[in-house]
Amino acid sequence: MGDSLEEDFLIEEEYRVVSADKKRKPELNNNKKKSNNGPIVIKKAKKTNVFTRPNTAEKQSEFFNQALKAAYKGISSLELVEFSCTDKHFYTKILENKDINSLVDVVKEGIRASNVAREIRENSEARIAKLFAKHIKIEEQVRFLKAFDYDVGVGTPARIRKLAEIGAIDFSKVELILLDCHQDTKTMTIMSLDDTRLVISELWKNTLLPLAQNNKLKLLLF
């Protein structure tokens, strides 16, 4: 018969017996949780589409042509070539007062247009043409455009197209069309939203392209 253990004998930790109900349960990863049916469900992080402005004329023209193709769904490559743009149609210099005498800033919606117009007014002496529908009737805009020259026009695609259709805007006096690609809370921009992209594409095809081809007007994605 073996010797009996002394009362103060200590069992080393690695040999200590642990009862089944006291065994430590493995911790689950914070990104995992059990569903009601048992299997482990892994929650994936949401993807966000962040717009990165093309920083060269070549990349801007490529981006704009892709937008034209998306706007005119089902169009053939031969048809698209007739009104597609080139890198010569884009302006990539840093915007300075001495560089541009007249520009039109095209923004996605009226609230954004109102905010941009206010910011320009507070930080410069430029004469601003408000080319959006928020609290402004089109008749008022027509009278203003006939009576005054302006340094900066700020407007939405639909209202600008309407003013162009009735001959109220003389784009031959405009040197730059600035396409404001500000992202909204759903990460949409003026060039990714179907409605605004189509209007801009129609405005380009029907009105702006001939001026751009004669080097009288350029575009800038901003």
Look up residue 152 and give its two tokens: 């900066």
Q: What is the pLDDT of residue 27?
A: 52
Closest CA to 179 of 209, 221, 120: 221
* Predicted pLDDT of residue 7: 45
Between 3-7, 32-36, 79-83, 188-192, the lowest mean confidence (pLDDT) is in 3-7
* Structural contact between residues 92 and 222, judged by C-beta atoms closer than 8 angstroms: no
Out of 14-18, 96-100, 135-139, 191-195, which region has the weakest mean confidence (pLDDT)? 14-18
- For the chain, which domains are there? 57-221 (3.40.50)
Q: Which residues pair with 34 in a beta bridge?
A: 40
* pTM score, whole prediction: 0.72
- Full strand arrangement of the beta sheet holding 218-221: 128-131, 152-155, 103-106, 176-179, 218-221
